[in-house]
Structure 1
Amino acid sequence: MHWSMAEGTPLGTLWVVASARGVHRVIFGENGEREWARVQAAHPEMERREDGLAAQALAQIIEYLRGARRTFTVPLDPEGTPFQQRVWKEAARIPYGQTLTYRELARRIGQPQAARAVGQALGANPLPILIPCHRVIAADGRLGGYTGGRHLKQWLLLLEGERLAAR
């Protein structure tokens, strides 16, 4: 595994970790420093590289944050349960600039009563932005939670041109 990092992004410091198969983690936001320390402790063999998949994903995320990219082309390697994988796969299909409710996402994976479990799976998403869990909101239009903090979820939705009601 290897990693790349950018400081001073609109999301603060941004870390990307990649395996040989694809992007494994994207870390930023309110708990970014603590999460990065946890990942480093779990994978002491990781090395920083300014080339390779982590750097490529980092460059694509920065392009997205600048408004110059709407889709990502890097392979993904998220680790999660089969249910989480289904939720993340469906969340990845939400188009740029659009939102979906937790309930609708649950319906799309064939479990219409699992909106709360969908929210928990999205909360465990190891690839925020690349798997756009920020595009999933509550049925009443509230933002719901976000790994990087609600203010970053709102910022990402506004970046994508989503019109947000006063909340």
Structure 2
Amino acid sequence: MTERFLARLDSPIGRIELLADDDAVTSLTIERDAALPHDGDPEQRNAVLETAVAQLVEYFAGARTDFDVPVRLHGTAFQQAVWARLQQLQWGDATSYGALAEAVGKPGSARAIGGAVGANPVPIIVGCHRVLASDGRITGYSGGEGVPTKLWLLGHEHIGFAA
């Protein structure tokens, strides 16, 4: 299925752009440097995007702690395994890259896990911000403005981390 639908919303971490096909959200982008990939394109929402926007508004307001909007994640089998594990994390849960590697049966592959986490096409809904270094440090974030965006998301979910 092709991505034919587009929606945007304002959030505390910047504007967010969502893409969807007929049945699922396929992409979520947090603006970086005041830009989104499809800024020049008009919005065209469908029911999936209306649900996703409503759930994100509730999340940012603190009224929603999980998402049940359907997502379609395109990636390698390894990426799919990592993203499936991320989807099992709940509001306020955190894990480490090493623990994720163990969970997907690839111990010692924390660097590859980091690549898969960073390639997550639907951040926030698939909570890649919940992954920290084994000592609890924040090592980076590929969404929005990077670490400041991750700091906001962690604080919003009351997830502690090492300085």
Inter-CA distance 94–15: structure 2 relative to 1 (3 Å threshold): same
1:5 aligns with 2:8: yes
Partner of 1:74: 69
Shift of 1:61: 1.1
Partner of 2:136: 141
1:151 aligns with 2:148: yes
Count of residue pairs brought into register by the alignment: 158
Given that 2:7 and 2:43 are in contact with CA atoms closer than 8 Å, whether structure 1 keeps it comes out as yes
Given that 1:11 and 1:28 are in contact with CA atoms closer than 8 Å, whether structure 2 keeps it comes out as yes
Shift of 1:50: 4.2
Query: Which has the larger displacement, 124-133 or 137-146?
Result: 137-146
Given that 2:98 and 2:108 are in contact with CA atoms closer than 8 Å, whether structure 1 keeps it comes out as yes
Amino acid at match of 1:11: I
Inter-CA distance 19–135: structure 2 relative to 1 (3 Å threshold): same
CA distance in 2, matches of 1:101, 1:72: 22
Aligned residue for 1:140, secondary structure, equals: coil
- Structure 1 gap segments, 5+ residues each: 41-45
Inter-CA distance 24–56: structure 2 relative to 1 (3 Å threshold): same
**Once superposed, which parts of structure 1, at least 4 consecutive aligned residues long, lie more than 3 Å away?**
none
Amino acid at match of 1:162: I
Aligned residue for 1:15, secondary structure, equals: strand
C-alpha root-mean-square deviation of aligned residues, in Å? 1.9
Inter-CA distance 14–89: structure 2 relative to 1 (3 Å threshold): same
Partner of 1:14: 16
Between the aligned residues of both structures, percent identity stands at 36
CA distance in 2, matches of 1:114, 1:29: 30
Q: Give the counterpart of 2:160 among 151, 154, 163.
A: 163
Residues 90-126 of structure 1: CA distance to partner in whole angstroms, max 9, x if unpaired? Answer: 0111121011000000000011111110100011000
- Structure 2 gap segments, 5+ residues each: none
Shift of 1:132: 0.1
